[in-house]
Structure 1
Amino acid sequence: MWGGTQLAKQTAQYGSWKSPITSDLIVQGTISFEQVLVDGLDIYWIESRPAEGGRSVVMRQNASGQVEELTPQPFNARDRVHEYGGGAVAIRDGIVYFSNFADNHLYVRDRDGNIHALTQDSKMRYADGQIDVARGRWIGVREDHTKSDIFAENTIVAVNTDGSGETVLVSGNDFYAFPRISPDGTQLAFITWHHPNMPWDETELWTGKFAADGTLTDLTKVAGVKNESILQPKWAPNGQLYYISDESNWWNIKRITDGKLETVVAMDAEFTSPNWAFGQSDYDFIDASTIICDYTQNGKWYLAQIDTQSGALKPVASEYTSFSSIRTDGERVVFLAGSPTSFRVVVTTNVDGSNPTVLRKSSEVQVDPDYLSIPESIEFPTENGKTAHGIYYRPKNPDFTAPEGEKPPLLVHVHGGPTSAASSVLSLSTQYWTSRGVAVLDVNYGGSTGYGREYRDRLKGQWGIVDVDDAANGAKYLGEQGEVDANRLAIAGGSAGGYTTLAALTFRDVFNAGASHFGLSELEVFAQETHKFESRYMDSLLGPYPEAKDVYFNRSPINFTNQLSCPIAFFQGLDDKIVPPNQAELMVEALRKKNLPVAYLAFEGEGHGFRRAENIKRALDGEFYFYSRVFGFTPADDIEPIHIENMDAEPGK
């Protein structure tokens, strides 16, 4: 940990402060977690390692506390289903089943450590599996790309664990998720939905019974009405089926009792988040009468127990403020967690939350808390008399102060999704900015999760308007409050956040600079070229294509570059299948023709989001360097410059 703070602060411009939170520190030994599983006395998790090119590894802590890596190089326990993957690993009795990213095959690792493939066709992808012990099968979601990528066929299949073949159990719908086997092995529950819905729009809960030959019979829809999102079905130990539904406006836990649908506990809170990736687990059963769960309310996450008989919710004390991947064996609870002052960790506790033990940290970096900006939840007025939300970070560095009267530049960060939400968990990438003297606003614009379905539905038909207005109004609000320099406002985001960034820079005259990380600029191209999972997403965000062709045109920044008047930097993976590189390259070329300052960094081997340490570092430093040139401050670090075209040219000439 860094030692004593200097007694006398140095005076330096905002943005010019020397910080120990460097890009090298951020990528040094940093990992991320994707899934937690419990098998007997053993605990498993999947960690993604930027230092190994983003390789995902299955880890295990056994009953004696020994931690070991189970999937060595070159295996990468990650799948491509829906392109976002998730749920790549299933475990039963010490045997590990996992999807391998390089060839899409489903593999098995036996108890002796031997690994072999169960499938052979690389155009088949597998995710979200469970083990059907009685019949010797892996049952999960398969995505068949043998005919087409955008028209891939999604089914629920059973893969024989001896490698002798596989059988389709359920087919005919556009999408499936959460296939879950009942405790007695006689039934299967699953979620399904159809285009143009996304899983947070409208899904259905179905069950089926296993016949003697292992096929599914008596397929029955048991829950799901129009505009109801159902997620995470789970069987209680007594065989009762539970699930999460937003029929009440909030994602609350429900169950089926004698054919009747019951709400277990009704709260103005969300007990899950959007199902972008497989493998979610926001609740589990300690026993038939007790649930351990997480939920979010007013931007903060909590851990709690629920008495399934009375519906009483009892908070579980924890030092953490973010939770996911909840699992329990009835005596211990294991989950992923984090807080504003601690990195994301794998934690195990007693079922009452006592005796917390960290099994694995996402970073071993020791950060002096004096350098950490603590997030503040803020609300601010936006269009149509409504209120929007955000998480605000003030500049913080114990060694520096700004010249009297100077206000800091502001970076508005726009999350992806767009139904995602900003997290308050410690992020050195955010602290990188604040410790150098740049304020940060993580905006939870209308459409974000955590504030109920009504708030989430604000974006329906309004993408490129509501999100842009909320981002702009958040920046203006902080400027009006005297928190930041209203003449040095930047906006940045990745994926859908990159689109909001480009739309804000094109259609609003609020920001002075911006950075798009693999962001959309041409919505019509995206509607025609993207993968199956998102191929109809914009029906709800913008309208069906081509019927709403004019809307797509009018909200595409690339069509209105004449309205651009400020510098923009672009960061793009050349292997991105979700937002292809031409989305950035079209915009860069338009800025070149206008003689506006523009920077373009393209990364070989990167897809939708950067996983390699060297590229994460280059993008972060590159964006900071870009703003330093635009806003006129001098970085304290020796940052490798990026090439900024037209930086000294007069815009428009």
Structure 2
Amino acid sequence: MWSYGEMDRLRAATKSDHVESPVSIEQVGQRTRSFDWLSASGQALHWVESVPSRGGSVVGTWTQARGLQLGTVDVGNSVHAYGGGPYAASSGGIWTTTAADGQIWLNDKIQYTRDQRQHGDLVFNDGLLLAVRESSDRDQLIAINPATHRTQVIHEASFIASPRLNRGRLTWMQWGSAVMPWDSAEVWVADYDPAGSLTRMKLIAGGPDESASQPRWGPDGHLYFMSDRSGWWNLYRTAGQAIVPVAAMQAECAPAPWELGYSTYAFLPQGRLAVITQVGPESRLALVAGDGTWHDLPTPYTSLKPYLAAADDRLSVIGSAPAISQQIALVPTSGTDQIEVVRHSNEDPQAVSCVSVPEEISVPSGGADVTVIFYPAQGIGPRRPTPVIVRAHAGPTYQAEIRLDWEVQFFTSRGFAVADVDYRGSTGYGRTYRKALDGRWGELDVIDCQNAARHLIHTGCAMPTAIFITGASAGGYTALKAVCTPDTPFALAVARSAIINPGDWITTAPRFQRPHAAILSHPNADVTPDEVCRPVAMIHGGADTVAPAADAVDLAASLKSRGLLANLVVLPDVGHYLRSPQAIKAALDAELAAYRTVLTDLGL
């Protein structure tokens, strides 16, 4: 775990006062390989690995004996728009969903589904493959028998996730069509009949004011799950007719379930458990004893993805830190520091020899204390005014992360400081903070970002005339709204894949996300061109199905007529996420050019 004293030493060690050469756009694109959906089966680790050179993802498998093997077929799905759980390991091989159409295959050779619907959240239990299949208006929980190729629909609901089967007992989570799963979700159990019917269905946890998720059967036969009934997502289990906390703490032990397949706790030998915890922007590992006592397990990571699996007495994690690029590692639970790194996202050991290391700043804002992760410009020295880029994360229910971000380093190596803001609505601060943005989107997040900017100006970290705001998706919306007040401290907004009209978004958003638009929105939520007070640059994917590109084109036309359009870049055949090196290059080119135009006009 990095303490901030250790970060001070790291800042000195990484020569943040000297820049040998700026991070190039090509280097950013090359270093965007990432890992997700890590799991363990027997002696093997499995994960999904992005391949930037082809804009797709493959399944990776590692064993001590055979080393690394990478699949050749692009895997993925778009269940609930954001997808997840695109593979499952079994004794018969690897089950996957194909990125092209969301269909289920075994070992990339045998196709088990053939329809227009998306499949995801794959898991292999009791000799059956379980999966979630999404239709236009509801979900189906299906079971596939590998021997007979028979597909059974065993349950239907508006939204379903996390099916788990153990000796004829089935559990899953579900939620209604008018809510988001981080606000209200339920965990159910039932008896599963081999003929495909469910009996003795019972609601275990969840309701209008409780989000319950990640149900799993423990080695002890009890049902475990996450719930935020205390105000924090903590781990619980059933004990007869009672529900008891496994380890109560003021920390988030689960993320907002945007994607399928999250797993933030793991069962260990001797009745122990491990949990990923998050307090503010920092992730940690906690070891939980059988009596509920727990302690932090030291690691070098400050950011852990929401995938945790036990491999005997070790924990497999996807971790990163300010000077550690994303890696898959095996962490011993015995207290030793012999961490085994299985896979690096960046194979160049010199790549992190000179990076900007952040500090955490608390900024008062509207009665709340808002966390800002501040990366100083390289080559400038501490606490000297520089151009600053304030970033609104792509939440709203997400958070800033303390990790090596090559887009941040791209700008800090060019004399910009970067400030990530955990505005109200972010995860990592409990349910009350997370729900503060309901009905106040484009207001409280904007106030928090503006107050962060003013704080950086007041403390001498930012040039008053050269402070910018940027964001993607929901963060792009926040960036646009942040330049809609006459007293804004921002000289320019850069919006990537931005949501522009929340009122319309209630009907144009993917089915999964429409309730979110309604929950967040209010009569004055839309970005009104006449209210924009500063220049705006926009980068948008032409094939974006989450935030329609037509909205960006319309806004750009209005801003151009008022002389406030800095640039509009529409990337053909690119969706909501800019994943390919080509799309990233185009976005960074446009963003840097917009900032430099402002600086040139200022004589800087």
Cα distance in 2 for residues equivalent to 1:586 and 1:515: 16
How far is 1:160 from its partner? 2.9
Partner of 1:617: 585
**In 1, are the aligned partners of 2:234 and 2:251 still within 8 Å (CA)?**
yes
Structure 1 pair 158–628 and aligned structure 2 pair: CA distance change class (3 A): same
Partner of 2:342: 359
Q: Does 1:433 align with 2:411?
A: yes
Q: Which one of 316, 327, 339 corresponds to residue 345 of structure 1?
A: 327
Alignment of 1:636-651 (within 5 A): none
Alignment of 1:373-392 (within 5 A): 373-383=356-366, 385-392=367-374
1:68 alignment partner, SS class: strand
Q: Does 1:253 align with 2:231?
A: no
Cα distance in 2 for residues equivalent to 1:327 and 1:368: 29
Q: Does 1:533 align with 2:512?
A: yes
Partner of 2:154: 169
Q: Does 1:67 align with 2:45?
A: no
Partner of 2:10: none
Q: Which letter maps to 1:156?
A: L
How far is 1:165 from its partner? 3.5
**In 2, are the aligned partners of 1:196 and 1:540 still within 8 Å (CA)?**
no
Q: Which one of 266, 290, 295 corresponds to residue 277 of structure 2?
A: 295
Structure 1 pair 635–47 and aligned structure 2 pair: CA distance change class (3 A): farther
CA shift digits 1:101-134 (9 cap, x unpaired):
112211111xxxx61211111x211111211334
Cα distance in 1 for residues equivalent to 2:178 and 2:14: 58
Partner of 1:95: 93
**In 1, are the aligned partners of 2:37 and 2:261 still within 8 Å (CA)?**
yes
Structure 1 pair 430–634 and aligned structure 2 pair: CA distance change class (3 A): farther
**In 2, are the aligned partners of 1:236 and 1:288 still within 8 Å (CA)?**
no
**In 2, are the aligned partners of 1:286 and 1:330 still within 8 Å (CA)?**
yes
Q: Does 1:143 align with 2:134?
A: yes
How far is 1:299 from its partner? 2.7
1:486 alignment partner, SS class: strand
Partner of 1:521: 500
Q: Does 1:591 align with 2:574?
A: no
**In 1, are the aligned partners of 2:186 and 2:206 still within 8 Å (CA)?**
yes
Cα distance in 2 for residues equivalent to 1:18 and 1:316: 36
Q: Which letter maps to 2:442?
A: G
Cα distance in 2 for residues equivalent to 1:18 and 1:219: 63
Cα distance in 2 for residues equivalent to 1:240 and 1:353: 28
Alignment of 1:218-617 (within 5 A): 218-287=200-269, 289-308=271-290, 310-324=291-305, 325-352=307-334, 354=336, 355-367=338-350, 369=352, 371-383=354-366, 385-397=367-379, 407-507=385-485, 509-542=488-521, 551-552=522-523, 554-557=524-527, 559=528, 561-617=529-585
**In 2, are the aligned partners of 1:39 and 1:93 still within 8 Å (CA)?**
no
How far is 1:396 from its partner? 1.6
Partner of 1:36: 38
Structure 1 pair 411–620 and aligned structure 2 pair: CA distance change class (3 A): same
Q: Which one of 120, 123, 129 corresponds to residue 122 of structure 2?
A: 129
Q: Which letter maps to 1:622?
A: A
Structure 1 pair 107–65 and aligned structure 2 pair: CA distance change class (3 A): same
CA shift digits 1:531-561 (9 cap, x unpaired):
100011122212xxxxxxxx34x2211x3x2
How far is 1:332 from its partner? 2.6
Is there any run of 5+ residues in structure 2 with no aligned partner, and where? 1-12
Cα distance in 2 for residues equivalent to 1:320 and 1:603: 35
How far is 1:218 from its partner? 1.3
1:609 alignment partner, SS class: coil
Cα distance in 2 for residues equivalent to 1:304 and 1:406: 38
Cα distance in 1 for residues equivalent to 2:91 and 2:134: 27
How far is 1:239 from its partner? 1.1
How far is 1:45 from its partner? 1.1
**In 1, are the aligned partners of 2:269 and 2:313 still within 8 Å (CA)?**
no
Identity of aligned residues (%): 29
1:180 alignment partner, SS class: strand
Q: Which letter maps to 2:165?
A: I
**In 2, are the aligned partners of 1:523 and 1:556 still within 8 Å (CA)?**
yes
Q: Which letter maps to 1:138?
A: L
**In 1, are the aligned partners of 2:234 and 2:252 still within 8 Å (CA)?**
yes
**In 1, are the aligned partners of 2:14 and 2:354 still within 8 Å (CA)?**
no
**In 2, are the aligned partners of 1:193 and 1:204 still within 8 Å (CA)?**
yes
Q: Which letter maps to 1:233?
A: P
**In 2, are the aligned partners of 1:236 and 1:287 still within 8 Å (CA)?**
no
Partner of 1:651: none
How far is 1:331 from its partner? 2.6
How far is 1:181 from its partner? 1.5
Cα distance in 2 for residues equivalent to 1:194 and 1:229: 12
Cα distance in 1 for residues equivalent to 2:408 and 2:319: 18
Structure 1 pair 202–634 and aligned structure 2 pair: CA distance change class (3 A): same
**In 1, are the aligned partners of 2:388 and 2:468 still within 8 Å (CA)?**
yes
How far is 1:163 from its partner? 6.6
CA shift digits 1:386-436 (9 cap, x unpaired):
221221111123xx679xx97211101011121000101111111111121
Cα distance in 1 for residues equivalent to 2:394 and 2:242: 37
Aligned residues: 588
Cα distance in 2 for residues equivalent to 1:77 and 1:407: 46
CA shift digits 1:23-48 (9 cap, x unpaired):
11111253111111111111111101
1:625 alignment partner, SS class: helix
Partner of 2:81: 83
TM-score norm. by structure 1 comes to 0.86
Structure 1 pair 297–29 and aligned structure 2 pair: CA distance change class (3 A): closer
TM-score norm. by structure 2 comes to 0.93
Which consecutive segments of 4 or more residues in structure 1 shift more than 4 A?
367-370, 633-636
Partner of 1:640: none
1:381 alignment partner, SS class: strand
Structure 1 pair 167–353 and aligned structure 2 pair: CA distance change class (3 A): farther
Structure 1 pair 519–243 and aligned structure 2 pair: CA distance change class (3 A): same
How far is 1:176 from its partner? 0.8
Q: Which one of 23, 43, 49 corresponds to residue 47 of structure 1?
A: 49
**In 2, are the aligned partners of 1:323 and 1:335 still within 8 Å (CA)?**
yes
Q: Which letter maps to 1:117?
A: Q
Q: Which letter maps to 1:139?
A: L
**In 2, are the aligned partners of 1:40 and 1:93 still within 8 Å (CA)?**
no
How far is 1:370 from its partner? 5.7
Q: Which letter maps to 2:471?
A: G
Partner of 2:6: none
Cα distance in 2 for residues equivalent to 1:87 and 1:300: 25
Q: Which letter maps to 1:126?
A: H
Q: Which letter maps to 1:47?
A: E
How far is 1:570 from its partner? 0.7
Cα distance in 2 for residues equivalent to 1:594 and 1:388: 34
Structure 1 pair 635–531 and aligned structure 2 pair: CA distance change class (3 A): farther
